[in-house]
Structure 1
Amino acid sequence: MLPNKDRTLYNYQLKKNQLSFDIPKGKSFEKRTAFSAAHVVSDPLADTDPLSNGQIDWDTTMKYRHHLWSLGLSVAEAMDTAQRGMGLSWDRAKELISRSVKEAKSVGGKIASGVGTDQLVPGAHVTLEDVEAAYDEQCSFVESEGGQIILMASRALAACAKGPEDYQRVYGKILNNVSEPVILHWLGDMFDPALKGYWGHEEDLDAAMDVCLKIIRDNEDKVDGIKISLLDENKEIKMRRLLPDSVRMYTGDDFNYPTLIKGDAQGYSHALLGIFDAISPAASAALHALDQGDLVTYDRLLEKTVPLSRHIFQRPTFSYKTGVVFMAYLNGHQDHFRMIGGAEGSRSITHLADLFVMADDAGLLADPELAAKRMKLVLELAGINQEG
């Protein structure tokens, strides 16, 4: 029994139309690099306050990364999907990065890890020098672990920068100091309101893009690529066409990823996506089909994932982590629906019920009986009787 938005209930019957995902074992993708930003699994039995001191179930968290690597996907670690800055502190992120890099090396998996300034509390007392020191500390840690850097946007920099020149100064210094090329990350304020006005322009995204492109061109040899998460495919395509030839575009557009990855006559985007955590079998099979030039299968596999993704990432967009973890719970990758920071409560029961239906429609419930059993438990906890 599932709830409608008008508070009525209806009896839902599973379609049980799981798609067949053709995924060659141990084969990496040939035409695209595809990172899945990965979530963390909380420890529900830890006797600590999940709001202020949420603990991680390390075994299950690492097991999920092995699942992603087994599908040919790369892992983007300690990003916003892992609740970075929204429950996952820098101290906890360091252990997560260290463990994940070691696990990646053990199976030859590709990994890149988020670097930010979240050891700082944004405020009037924070200076550009503080931001640079925080970035340097985190960059040094990831490089010392043998990992690639994803240079995430900084709340502290957004709070203290006076204009574009401050972004150019900070990024120029950090990129000059790193040893290997990094992936830059432009995260829109729909994902994190504290990042509004990034690159020194609050309303004019084209002007902000110009600042970012100048930083890239001035430091081209230190930039592998840039992920942009603006949920605006036209802005991404425009920027993609303006990048230097050596710099990749990684789509972070969880609304329009199929067309952006497929590309056009003038280019395409690689992927660094939170939704790949939730749709990993479909994403992997689609990318293998793309390698074979089978665009019909590519389109077929991804087209039904888009409504699900748009639902998971609906406003407030930063609450998408709840849907990602709920998918992992439904599909048996973890035994509970608890999150650090208590974030399992960030979406309504109606939202979760609609997610369940969309996942079924997309053929993404690996074990329909298990998924139905777990959905019933969550509904019961919300006071929706499943016995009648």
Structure 2
Amino acid sequence: MTIRLPGADGALKVYTPRTEPLALTTGAPFTSRTVFSAAHVVADPFADVSPDSPAAVDWDATLAFRRHLWSHGLGVAEAMDTAQRGMGLDWAGAAELIRRSAAEARSVGGRIACGVGTDQLTGPAASLSDIRKAYEEQLAVVEESGAQAILMASRALAAAAQGPEDYLEIYGHLLRQAAEPVVLHWLGPMFDPALDGYWGSSDLDAATDTFLAVIAAHPDKVDGIKVSLLDAQREIDIRRRLPDGVRCYTGDDFNYPELIAGDEKGFSHALLGIFDPLGPLAAEAVRVLDTGDVEGFRNLLDPTVELSRHLFQTPTRFYKTGVVFLAWLAGHQSHFTMVGGLQSSRSLPHFARAYELADGLGLFPDPALAEARMKNLLGMYGVAQ
């Protein structure tokens, strides 16, 4: 069987899908790295909503996908930007997601960490006091659920802060009251333009100094940092400046194999959106790395970078669309619908290339199902087969 796919130039080409998936199995817990997948949410396709409505979530399918990730040994990073925080999922929906996923994690023994932000502040410009209270409210929800907290970057704080001292004050306050060590998340403006100048400066060297000053003042309250700047050398430089015991979780969806493999001076753990579609393959690669076989790890994971760079291409914030698209093709959900109508945020040639790359990697458990669903989508765009 073949399939006709549109290329970036608009011309159709014939592609022959593979007939068998990559052979992957579940296995023992990881020993050399701590690895989280930032997981997407599954929309309820039958809900009568508009793009401005609160998110309507298919809870059964959403939680089933998290069980899929846990079954392969991955931790779940919940209610992060992959779950469309601030892009279709509001705080009320995120709070419900946190509670449900944390309960599910307890029932299966899965590892979970959840995003803490300030996205309930949707009105006029917020004061620093408002921002502090919003963070505290969300931190309480996560801690009460029994999950680890990830302190996410705040659009409201980026807008309100007058300089580095405001970040030092807000984060210092939160870390002092956190019950357990948290993960600090630095999300770059390529993922969210509203976060430009985070940590008090658009100069990344100055911002890095402030970020590290927060950690240095409270090393006992920081489990680790997640760096999402798509700059491998900067992550390495930050990693080498961390206090002992503070981990670096790579959030670099362009350079993750080399950062996780590490060098003679250290390595990064992982908290990645790309490990949503790559979950089983990523888990297999980390188990190979657990044996000390760096070459085998790279041989498995390096070929996935082309797909990741494709999904995360500019405008990067719309990578969620490709993630959900691949989950549909892989059979993890029955439809390609997203909260906020975000399924319309990428082009047909983008979807076609994502399908081709994912199929070439053997990511689809049922290649015939993926092919049939891709053909259905192409038919909706008028591409005859």
SS at match of 1:278: coil
Partner amino acid for 1:319?
Answer: F
| 1:334-345 → structure 2 map (5 Å cutoff) | 334-345=333-344
| 1:319-334 → structure 2 map (5 Å cutoff) | 319-334=318-333
Distance in 1 of aligned mates of 2:177 and 2:67: 31
Distance in 1 of aligned mates of 2:303 and 2:375: 24
Deviation at 1:51, TM superposition (A): 3.9
**Maintained 8 Å contact 2:183/2:223:** yes
1:277 match? 276
**Maintained 8 Å contact 2:42/2:333:** yes
Distance in 2 of aligned mates of 1:269 and 1:111: 18
2:45 match? 44
2:135 match? 135
Please tell me whether residue 227 in structure 1 is matched to residue 197 in structure 2: no
**Maintained 8 Å contact 2:55/2:93:** no
1:68 match? 69
Query: Using a 3 Å threshold, how does the CA distance of structure 1 residues 304 and 51 change in structure 2: closer, same or farther?
Result: farther
2:160 match? 160
Segments of 5+ residues of structure 2 without an aligned counterpart are: none
Distance in 2 of aligned mates of 1:40 and 1:383: 29
**Maintained 8 Å contact 2:20/2:366:** no
Deviation at 1:295, TM superposition (A): 2.2
**Maintained 8 Å contact 1:51/1:342:** no
1:245 match? 244
Task: Give per-residue Cα distances to partners, 1:37-59, cap 9 Å, x unaligned.
Answer: 00000000112224423300000
Distance in 1 of aligned mates of 2:239 and 2:275: 21
Distance in 1 of aligned mates of 2:209 and 2:65: 38
| 1:351-366 → structure 2 map (5 Å cutoff) | 351-366=350-365
Task: Give per-residue Cα distances to partners, 1:83-115, cap 9 Å, x unaligned.
Answer: 011100000111100000000000110000000
Deviation at 1:122, TM superposition (A): 6.8
Distance in 1 of aligned mates of 2:214 and 2:241: 13
1:11 match? 14
Task: Give per-residue Cα distances to partners, 1:173-218, cap 9 Å, x unaligned.
Answer: 111111111000000000000000000111x111100000000010
Deviates more, 1:179-188 or 1:353-362: 353-362
Task: Give per-residue Cα distances to partners, 1:322-371, cap 9 Å, x unaligned.
Answer: 01001100100000000000000000000000001111222212211000
Deviation at 1:9, TM superposition (A): 1.1
Deviation at 1:275, TM superposition (A): 0.2
1:111 match? 112
**Maintained 8 Å contact 2:219/2:246:** yes
TM-score (norm 2): 0.97
Deviation at 1:296, TM superposition (A): 2.8
1:196 match? 196
**Maintained 8 Å contact 2:230/2:254:** yes
**Maintained 8 Å contact 1:16/1:363:** no
**Maintained 8 Å contact 1:28/1:72:** yes
**Maintained 8 Å contact 1:148/1:182:** yes
1:151 match? 151
Deviates more, 1:298-307 or 1:258-267: 298-307
1:255 match? 254
2:5 match? 2
- Root-mean-square deviation (CA, aligned residues, Å) is 1.1
**How many residues end up aligned between the 2 structures?**
382
**Maintained 8 Å contact 1:122/1:155:** no
| 1:282-301 → structure 2 map (5 Å cutoff) | 282-301=281-300
**Maintained 8 Å contact 1:150/1:182:** yes
Deviation at 1:82, TM superposition (A): 0.3
2:93 match? 92
Deviation at 1:293, TM superposition (A): 1.4
Deviation at 1:17, TM superposition (A): 5.7
SS at match of 1:11: strand
Partner amino acid for 2:207?
Answer: A
Deviation at 1:248, TM superposition (A): 0.3
**Maintained 8 Å contact 2:208/2:238:** yes
Please tell me whether residue 175 in structure 1 is matched to residue 178 in structure 2: no
Partner amino acid for 2:325?
Answer: F
2:184 match? 184
Query: Using a 3 Å threshold, how does the CA distance of structure 1 residues 51 and 338 change in structure 2: closer, same or farther?
Result: farther
Distance in 2 of aligned mates of 1:19 and 1:44: 30
